Structure 1
Amino acid sequence: MADPPQVDGRRRDAIRSHLEAIAPYYTTEWDPTTPGPGTTLAALFSEMAEDVIERLDRVPEKHQRAFFDTLGFDRKPPHPATVPISFSVDGGAPRNVVVDGGTRAAAPAATGRPEQTFTVPGEQRFEATPASLQAVYGVDPTVDRVCNHWNPDLNSGLAAGGDQQLFVDENEQRHVLYIGDVDQLTVEQPDKEGELATIRVRLQTDADQDLIESLYWQYHGEASVGSETVEQWHYPTAISSVADDATANEVVFDLAFEGTLTKTAVDGIESLWIRALVPSVHGRGDLTGITIGREVGIGPGLNWSLSDASDGDTDGVDGSDGETPTSKTMSPDRLLYDDIPLPFDESDAGNTDEIEDEGTYYPLGTEPQRQSTFYVAASEAFSKAETELTLTFEELTLPDAPPENNGGPPGSTVVNKHESAGDWVRTEMEPQLSWEYWNGDGWSRIATLTDETDDLTGAGQKVGFRVPDDLAKTTVAGHENHWIRCRLVGGSYGTWVSEETNGTFQTHHVVFPPQFDYLKIEYGKLEADQEENGETEENDDEGGDESSALPSSPATQVRTENHLSVSENLAETGTGEVRPFRPLPDPGQALYFGFDGPLHDGPLTLFVDISDQSFPPDFFPRIRWEYCANPGGDEWVEIDVRDGTANLTERGIVRLVLPGESVLHKRFGTERHWVRARVQDDQFETSRPKLQFYHLEYLAPEYAALQPDSYEKLYHEGYVTAQPDHYQPGRVTLQPENYQFDYQLGRVTLQQGDYQEEATLDTDLFTDGGCESVEPCGRTLPTEPPSGEPSQEPPVLTDISPNTAWASNVRLLERTTLGSSDGEPAQSFATVERPVLDETVWVDELRALSEGERASLRAADSPAVEAETAADGSLEAFWVAWTAVPDFLDSGPDERHYTIDRTAGTVTFGDGTRGQIPPRGTDNVEIQYRTGGGPAGNVAAGAVAELVDSIQFVDGVTNPAPGTGGAAAESSESVVSRAPERLRDRDRAVAAVDYERIATDNARELARARCIPEMNLAGDHEPGWVTLLIVPDAQRPKPTPSTGLKAHVESEVEQRAPATLVAADRLVVRGPSYVGASVDTTLVAERAGSVATLEETAASAVAAFLHPLTGGEEGEGWAFGDLPAMSDLYAVLEGVDGVDYVADLSMTFASNEGTATVREGEESPTVSADALVHSDGHDVTVRLGATNPGSREAEQ
């Protein structure tokens, strides 16, 4: 509307000029140009006339305002800001802490903002629990997914301040079978080059061998990864089935591995472990349905040959003529004579001073004596309890021993020390050995032992025994291992030699120590003729059972992991078969909240902050809130709830009242008190995840050149689409299995057996190292609305905070006297405080109402009434709540109505014709209201830090989300501007400007509104749709409307938009599609100074220029659909004090659909009409000129 017309418009100079011009015609004797009393009088007159004319000129405006005032256009009061406030309760509190309505918390004063006090309204009263939230898990049984949404160790977890999309973030679900045993999994790598050790696994199951082999098997140990040795879980090099060793309902296979198994802890149990994992690419339904026996046989397998595998022999076991050997041979880990190391490899021979001949081993030293001890360590062989074992001493002899005496008594020998001597002397040599093992407490003799060596005297080469079941590790000479030992406990390996020299006999003691060339250890199924050639010592029983096969014993630890929980040891509990891989028990999607203390009573509150998202109008994911009352029976009890999140689709507070107390129990591997929100009706859509590429350098050459720039859109959890690090061509089937790739025109196919998955790749995500970058065609930058098209995708959570209530920057004024009615028409009363918000006006009508009328009012739902009685029971007052109306035009004489100017704090009653007059009385008009509000309440997250009203056991307060909705009182100029538009459109939304006016009028926290007809939810052109873009008044780089603000604006517009023009489901209220502008520039300083300061100043100037609301040349912000030009940035940067000129400049625009870079001489891209620019990160570099820092010409 145009400004009111001016009645006169002149000012003092014009008035005086006019006076001086007409003076000669009226006062010829006065010269107005000559100083004197006349000129002074003329100046005074001009000034006074100017004042009168100014008032006269304002008469139209005065009448205009009076007109608008008569029509009921009042200034709107400040709007309070709303903020969620979380109360931190001492974990040692013995009970829930009641937070009453009226509780106040404050945000200390900050730059540009005074201290703000926030008050919890009465209806927000709740109980704060001392239990703290420690875990949040989302489960989706349809895709077998478990998501840890809380994990503080993840930068993206809610506990770390990250965003989490329910049910679709990283899947932590694993189905794992753990098999552990320290003894049976102690397997050493063979000495022979080109061979690998194996572990044989025996599973009792009806499942097919192929199904079992589709599992991903791993072992924990040390193995080479690239050029380093890494201790972690590794894939075995090969898996070989051993069908000929399997019985009915049994699957047997060998895992060939590189490296060494090392101990690790699984669920706190330290052992040697292997494990089987269900692959994500497999049909999990098949594997989650199998059963296995609780006893899992494990032990060493037969060595696996790399050469045989290269030739196509997938068994790769050692042996010959196609026969499968049933025993395993190896070298000892260590040999000791007493505490002296003995070489057991020829390359190490000679390192021991006590051994004179290389390649010769003296087990008891060169001069054996009583208690001389020979130690043998073999961690693999000696750890296999009840296994038949043989020690073979190659070339065992007694050096220089004489032949047996012809004719001498048994057991005696005749030694001829000097061949020239003519006499021999008979002596005895009967050594006695004790073979012993460590049983955990001490050394014990091996009960069953067959000694062919006749106490190492060389009669045979083998010593055999059954490994005792209590043979334990011990430390000998500082080396921990499984040890056995052989002690000389009687006799000797020496003899006395007498010789005659010149008729004199001399006696010498000569020692013949046992020696051998090599010691090998063999265990498993031994040769049947071993017993025939053996000899049992006195400490033997009857020898061993040579028919036993390669050792395979039930594992001591068998555990399963499902849903992040590891089971108890199945090898020790229960009988019968078990399902190692169990599907999720939930009937549908569910969100679990884990607390570290019991939950009871209530209402307990949970603030859920959800990002903006659009859902289809018919989508209704009804949420049932439950707590676990009986973990043993998995019994969940429904909770009485008031859900302010509209079933987890918008930000709000959930209020929970528990009928009982929660029970501590284990779920997802953690003991907590669990509450869950279960989706009952419409499920959120969690589409199959997309493909992700790992280790592209291991693919075929045509793929190796492709390097991923981003994995953001290529994520398929569990689909490992490249070989593991230990992959080498020519080996047998690997884990994970090989996949087939077909990269053509952006399509990749992942295939495993009958399973196939396809994904279309965004070509922007990959660059070919052999190609130069190509500029995109055209200069259009696509954008997508921030909320996107309506979909059933799960919401994105930004925060979950228990013990939270809404609060506003207002304070409650208790009910107080407003005045006394004198019975006159149009009475007005003024409040003590202003503005007036959420008021209730009460009038005492005791003397004006009959008993029957009072009874009728009590029985009616409205208005509210309150009766006050004296001590004797008599009625003292009868208060009736009156109703506020915008005006009295539609009010009848008997209607209890009043009008209120909330900004001025004035309450006005009717005149008896239009609106009832309050009955006469003393102090019979009262009011209760709130006051405060304003934009200062829009505090940042975390600004609230002080509790004004102390509450026992409450340690502190904070606001997990920023305050929103605060707006200042409307100015008179705004009323004058608003009223004509309101009169023009009659408060109906017909034209685009009507939508914009209704939005800004009813939500004064808005800085801007833009209506775009025929734009649908997806941002595309479609008749019948209306999109209303709103931007809140905020100094944030990217002001975004809150969910509550959008809902409020949408509600106000829907009430005023004719359904014949736009349907309610085709009205879109949202924020703009922001386009970030980042500047990369090099500036030349005109003088020496702080480069860092100038860089910061220039970056701040660019950021201020690009602010969507206060940027631009005029400081009025940027229009929708416009992007800044390069010339604008040159002007801003060269206008910074200290900048000589801009040496280089480029600007990159980034939307949620792509990027576009603009350089000198290029135009900015075009964007959609709903786009709005905002400042993004900037890279500013300042350098000095080459010769004269202040001269552009010097550098040129």
Structure 2
Amino acid sequence: MRKPILDPRSRADIMAQLAAHARSYTPEWRYEGAEDDPGAALAELFGEMFYQTVDRMNSVPGKLHTEFLNLTGFRMPDPVPAAGLLQFTAHDTVEEPVPVPAGTQVFASDEEGENIIYETERAIQSTPARLEDVYYVDARAEVIQRLEPGRPQPLFTDTGGENLQRHRFTLAQNDVLSLSGPCEVEVELRMEDGRPAAEAAGHLADPESVRWSFRGAGGEIPFTAVRAEGNGLVLTYDGAEAFLPDEEGRFAIACTGGPGCGSLMLDGVRLRSRPAGRLPLDGVSNGDIPLELEEGGYPFGRRPTPYSLCYFRSDQVFRKRGARVNLRLDIAPIVTDLVDQSPQYQFNQRIIDKRDAVAIVPDDVYVSQVSWEYFNGLGWHPLAVTGSRNPFSCRQEGELEVVFDVPADLSETEVNAESGWYIRARVVHVENEFSMTPRWVVPFLKGAGCVWAYDAGVPVDACAAENNGETVELTDISQVERLHFPALVGLEEHPRAMYFRFDRSPHAMPLSLFFDTAGRVQLEDKLRFEAWTGQRFEPVRTVDLTRNLLHPGSMLLYLPRPLPVRTLFGVPGCWLRLSRSSYLDNGGGWPWLNAIHLNVSEAVQRERAEEERFSAGPYEACKTLELLHSPVLGAQVWVDEAGALALADAEKLAGDLPGRVNLEWEGGALAHCWVAWERRDELAMAGPEERCFSLEPYEGVITFGDGIHGRVPPQGRENIRVSYSFGGGSRGNRPAGAVTELIGALPRISRVENLTAMSGGTERFSPEKADAIGSRRLRHRNRAAGARDFEEIVIQNFPQARHVKCFPGRDAAGARAPGHVSVVVEGCDLDNQRVTDELCERIYDELSRRCDCVMLAEGRLHVVGSTVITVSSSITVEMENPDLGAVTQQEIARRLEELINLRWREREIGSQLRIAQVWQTVRDTPNVRLVRSILLEGRYDQSGVQRVVALEDDNAFPYATVRSGYHFIQAE
């Protein structure tokens, strides 16, 4: 409204008119305004007083308009204090939680060096515990995932990260499982309490549930076939891969279970193996001379002598301690006759008769006795053999097989600089070794092979299991009778849950956990917190300020006792669990989490003033009280009515107004009757007996009634006491990290800091804005019927809202929805979603009392925050003067930021994007000859997920508000 000016004259005009009158009425007096002229002094005084009268006259229309607005019921909104979140960090050396009482004061300095004081809203206890990990667990889907810190992630659903869930156990036995090529492995199971293992064996043989494998050169190699036999399994492998040891040098087989593979507790496991056929030896040597088995060779040389040695090596077979080995040797005799067998005459006789010629019969020289030996770690010991004990004599026919049981102390040794598993044959006696007519019968080894077989299973040396993210490992257990080995362990049947691991007990009364969630997702079931207390997870009394994670906020957990340490998912810690109450999927999606902060309390910019007392005279109608501090954020007024009430009336009043009347007795008599009077926005609407008052918060003035509109306070000395807080305004708006100082000492607190910006503080409306809002109240009369009514009611009552736009016929997501009404709000702090969400909730509560109840009951009213789009650009331009390229690039970026952050943001919601203006702004920049290309992209948050889209249409986002991002300027 443009106020009329009744008298447009200024002070200079009045003084000029006064001088003209002086020249007309008193020509004998020259008015020149000289300092030593008394008449001039009087004229100056008159002119000043008359100008003040003119000024007051000109203010009459404004005052009348203000009174008119008061008659319409318009009321200036109360001052709003800035608010934010403070984090109190306890010192690392503290073991117990540190109390942080409500009203703890912190401060920051403003631009003029004055302190801005903030007070905490709620008492908490700061725990020294640190949140180390957060895990998502779905027992039915067999999912265990660790949330990655530093980026938004969904809660109660698959995050896309690594699944830590494993159902896998390994059985290690270095002798039995040192295998290569086709083979079979038998696994004998023994269950706890002597139960039959046939059912477990059948389950472990099911290829749909489990997979058996071993470690090979190509990674995990599966067995070809698995079948159950009695209380055990037979694992068959038909390939050519060799078993390889793991990182700890153990040969093992592994069983990997799939989801829902069940649980399996083993009391004992035995293994035995056998090859698919006879295996060739790894090597044979005659002493230090290796023999090529493909070509054959002499095991003891061409001329065997006592103590000649032949070493046989098989790293796979000879290490099968306890097994029976059948060593088959393919030996051919090589006969060397060095004696002339023609008749020999006796030349030492005097008469040589041909009939006396003697035929010489040679003596067979052969290995008549050998000793078999093995190395036991200290030396070579005799090896008991059966079958062909001496296959080297060349006196036996048929297959030559040496059978022996591998001694338990047979050890690996080094022969001819090669380490391996050996046995040896040592020549004990060579028959006719010193004969003069020898015929050498020497063994020639053409081939050798062996097999082994176990009469009974061999206990495993070690076993390990991975289940539910945890690892159980048992070593050196070959002599242990009862293992109690949890081979397969399933997750406890439980709805989806989030597990929180702390480095120490987070007990506190209460423990404050701030959940910085993104987006708004309504969970269909109730969340509950539980704590591991040593035997099970037990419910924790919780105050949920997030409304089931609907918006960012704190959850207050009351944990009176320390929590014990437990190992879950392979890591030790103290555990809390946030669980869903049902197994159903959430149709509206899942909440997203940016971060979790401990020891957080909300603080507002205010100070608690000392209680002030006032006296009342006899029947002081319209009595006013001026408080010492302003603006006033909240006041409680207590009036002592003991002198104006009879005892029976006072007691009746205490019963009628519970919580508002305090009776104080002295010596059995009623000394004081303090009654809490209530604040009314308009005393004119109050009845004569109502105990009420009005408050002008910006001036700090309290006004009581006149007996017709509101009760008059009774007479008394200091019978009125006022408790209040003061503060508020835009001076309390400070960025994150700016509030770091405590007022007074708070022992054992090492650090305090505001995690979020202290924002939302507002001043009173400017006269122009008050005029604009107040005049519109006549039209909507505080009832929301049309779209403009919704907007104007919000602007009138919530100065924190920078922009408000009502969209009829759209739902909360912006989609067309007949009958729905969406009120979109842009807060003063675009970076603080929590503040915007809280503002939207308060606006919804206010509008729910002003709009159609049917629309409200059917859920067709929505109050949501605007979609904040960060606008970034990639621009290519051609410049007139390339030497000014850097300056031009900076100027383009500056102009774009000014366009987006200032000019666009002044527009209403949904109309801020004006893509054509970007081209115009770049074109109008000095030194720009030609605009080659402009690419705009918008980045925004959609239910916690960052989206990036190309900006091509001004109306693509009906709920959009903008802010400037990064601008890449390329010059040609």
- Give the TM-score category using the shorter length: 0.7 to 0.9
The alpha carbon displacement at 1:1068 in A equals 0.9
Corresponding residue for residue 389 of structure 1: 325
Kept after mapping to 2: 8 A contact 1:1099/1:1180: yes
SS at match of 1:1042: helix
1:51-101 Cα shifts (integer Å, max 9, x gaps): 876664443123212433566645434322332333333454342322211
Corresponding residue for residue 880 of structure 1: 675
Question: In structure 2, what is the Cα distance between the partners aligned to 1:1040 and 1:575?
Answer: 57
* Mapping for residues 205-604 of structure 1, pairs under 5 Å: 205-206=198-199, 212-215=206-209, 217=211, 219=213, 221=215, 223-224=217-218, 234=220, 236=222, 239-241=223-225, 247-248=229-230, 250-255=232-237, 261-264=243-246, 271-279=250-258, 284=260, 287-288=261-262, 325=276, 327-332=277-282, 378-391=314-327, 433=371, 435-438=373-376, 442-443=378-379, 445=381, 447-450=383-386, 452=388, 454=390, 463-471=402-410, 483-486=421-424, 520=449, 522-525=450-453, 548=454, 553=458, 555-566=460-471, 583-598=490-505, 600=507, 602-604=509-511
The alpha carbon displacement at 1:884 in A equals 1.5
Corresponding residue for residue 971 of structure 1: 766
> Which protein has the larger Cα radius of gyration, Structure 1 or Structure 2?
2
Corresponding residue for residue 159 of structure 2: 169
Say which of 934, 941, 957 aligns to 1:1145.
934
Kept after mapping to 2: 8 A contact 1:218/1:234: no
Question: In structure 1, what is the Cα distance between the partners aligned to 2:766 and 2:834?
Answer: 24
Tell me the number of residue pairs that the alignment of Structure 1 and Structure 2 aligns. Answer: 928
Say which of 786, 793, 814 aligns to 2:589.
793
The alpha carbon displacement at 1:883 in A equals 1.6
1:423 and 1:622, CA in 2 relative to 1: closer, same or farther beyond 3 A?
closer
Aligned pair 1:663/2:654, yes or no?
no
Corresponding residue for residue 119 of structure 2: 119
1:1094 and 1:926, CA in 2 relative to 1: closer, same or farther beyond 3 A?
farther
Kept after mapping to 1: 8 A contact 2:79/2:631: yes
Identity %: 21
Question: In structure 1, what is the Cα distance between the partners aligned to 2:867 and 2:702?
Answer: 44
Question: In structure 2, what is the Cα distance between the partners aligned to 1:583 and 1:1080?
Answer: 53
1:754-805 Cα shifts (integer Å, max 9, x gaps): xxxxxxxxxxxxxxxxxxxxxxxxxxxxxxxxxxxxx443322333233332
Q: Which amino acid aligns with 2:722?
A: I
Unaligned runs of 5+ in 2: 28-33, 35-39, 190-196, 343-359
Structure 1 range deviating more: 211-220 or 361-370? 361-370
Question: In structure 2, what is the Cα distance between the partners aligned to 1:1075 and 1:108?
Answer: 32
1:323-356 Cα shifts (integer Å, max 9, x gaps): xx4x451442x77898x7958688xxxxxxxxxx
Q: Which amino acid aligns with 1:484?
A: Y
Say which of 870, 875, 899 aligns to 1:1081.
875
Corresponding residue for residue 230 of structure 1: none
Corresponding residue for residue 64 of structure 1: 65
1:707-751 Cα shifts (integer Å, max 9, x gaps): xxxxxxxxxxxxxxxxxxxxxxxxxxxxxxxxxxxxxxxxxxxxx
Question: In structure 1, what is the Cα distance between the partners aligned to 2:496 and 2:692?
Answer: 51
The alpha carbon displacement at 1:16 in A equals 12
Question: In structure 2, what is the Cα distance between the partners aligned to 1:623 and 1:1040?
Answer: 20
SS at match of 2:492: coil
1:876 and 1:1173, CA in 2 relative to 1: closer, same or farther beyond 3 A?
same
Tell me the TM-score normalised to structure 1 length: 0.66
The alpha carbon displacement at 1:856 in A equals 3.9
Q: Which amino acid aligns with 2:279?
A: T
* Mapping for residues 123-134 of structure 1, pairs under 5 Å: 124-134=122-132
SS at match of 2:3: coil
Kept after mapping to 2: 8 A contact 1:217/1:235: no
Corresponding residue for residue 551 of structure 2: 650
1:806 and 1:1165, CA in 2 relative to 1: closer, same or farther beyond 3 A?
closer
1:428 and 1:371, CA in 2 relative to 1: closer, same or farther beyond 3 A?
closer
Say which of 571, 576, 582 aligns to 1:675.
576
1:1173 and 1:807, CA in 2 relative to 1: closer, same or farther beyond 3 A?
closer
SS at match of 2:374: strand
SS at match of 2:493: coil
1:1120 and 1:445, CA in 2 relative to 1: closer, same or farther beyond 3 A?
same
Q: Which amino acid aligns with 1:796?
A: W
The alpha carbon displacement at 1:489 in A equals 9.6
1:220 and 1:868, CA in 2 relative to 1: closer, same or farther beyond 3 A?
farther
SS at match of 1:1106: helix
Kept after mapping to 2: 8 A contact 1:222/1:261: yes
Question: In structure 2, what is the Cα distance between the partners aligned to 1:144 and 1:429?
Answer: 68
Corresponding residue for residue 1071 of structure 1: 865
1:993-1045 Cα shifts (integer Å, max 9, x gaps): 11112222333221111101111244332322101111112365x97863212
The alpha carbon displacement at 1:485 in A equals 4.9
1:905-945 Cα shifts (integer Å, max 9, x gaps): 22222223322333344444333222333456555555554
The alpha carbon displacement at 1:1053 in A equals 0.9
Kept after mapping to 2: 8 A contact 1:1031/1:1040: no
Corresponding residue for residue 82 of structure 1: 83
Corresponding residue for residue 585 of structure 2: 685
Tell me the TM-score normalised to structure 2 length: 0.79
Corresponding residue for residue 933 of structure 1: 728
Question: In structure 2, what is the Cα distance between the partners aligned to 1:944 and 1:898?
Answer: 36
Question: In structure 2, what is the Cα distance between the partners aligned to 1:494 and 1:1118?
Answer: 120
1:586-630 Cα shifts (integer Å, max 9, x gaps): 343333333333455623332223333243xxx752334333345
Question: In structure 1, what is the Cα distance between the partners aligned to 2:936 and 2:335?
Answer: 91
1:130-167 Cα shifts (integer Å, max 9, x gaps): 33333333333454443434xxxxxxx2x435333223
1:184 and 1:922, CA in 2 relative to 1: closer, same or farther beyond 3 A?
farther
The alpha carbon displacement at 1:200 in A equals 6.5
Q: Which amino acid aligns with 1:87?
A: F
Q: Which has the higher strand share?
A: 2
Q: Which amino acid aligns with 2:532?
A: C
Corresponding residue for residue 104 of structure 2: 103
Question: In structure 2, what is the Cα distance between the partners aligned to 1:494 and 1:116?
Answer: 116
Corresponding residue for residue 3 of structure 1: 2
Corresponding residue for residue 1116 of structure 1: 906
The alpha carbon displacement at 1:1082 in A equals 1.9
Unaligned runs of 5+ in 1: 30-35, 150-156, 191-195, 225-232, 303-324, 347-358, 407-421, 500-510, 526-547, 687-790, 1184-1196
1:1120-1151 Cα shifts (integer Å, max 9, x gaps): 156433x4223323445665543332334577
Structure 1 range deviating more: 1024-1033 or 57-66? 57-66
Aligned pair 1:93/2:71, yes or no?
no
Kept after mapping to 1: 8 A contact 2:611/2:724: no
1:427 and 1:793, CA in 2 relative to 1: closer, same or farther beyond 3 A?
closer
Corresponding residue for residue 917 of structure 2: 1128
Say which of 606, 611, 621 aligns to 2:525.
621
Question: In structure 1, what is the Cα distance between the partners aligned to 2:8 and 2:540?
Answer: 72
1:537-585 Cα shifts (integer Å, max 9, x gaps): xxxxxxxxxxx48x96554445544432345659999979999655532
Kept after mapping to 2: 8 A contact 1:840/1:929: yes
Q: Which amino acid aligns with 2:83?
A: T
Question: In structure 2, what is the Cα distance between the partners aligned to 1:80 and 1:450?
Answer: 99
Kept after mapping to 2: 8 A contact 1:9/1:54: no
Corresponding residue for residue 1180 of structure 1: 969
The alpha carbon displacement at 1:1055 in A equals 1.3
The alpha carbon displacement at 1:378 in A equals 4.4
Aligned pair 1:640/2:541, yes or no?
yes
SS at match of 1:984: helix
1:960-997 Cα shifts (integer Å, max 9, x gaps): 55555433443333322221122321111111111112
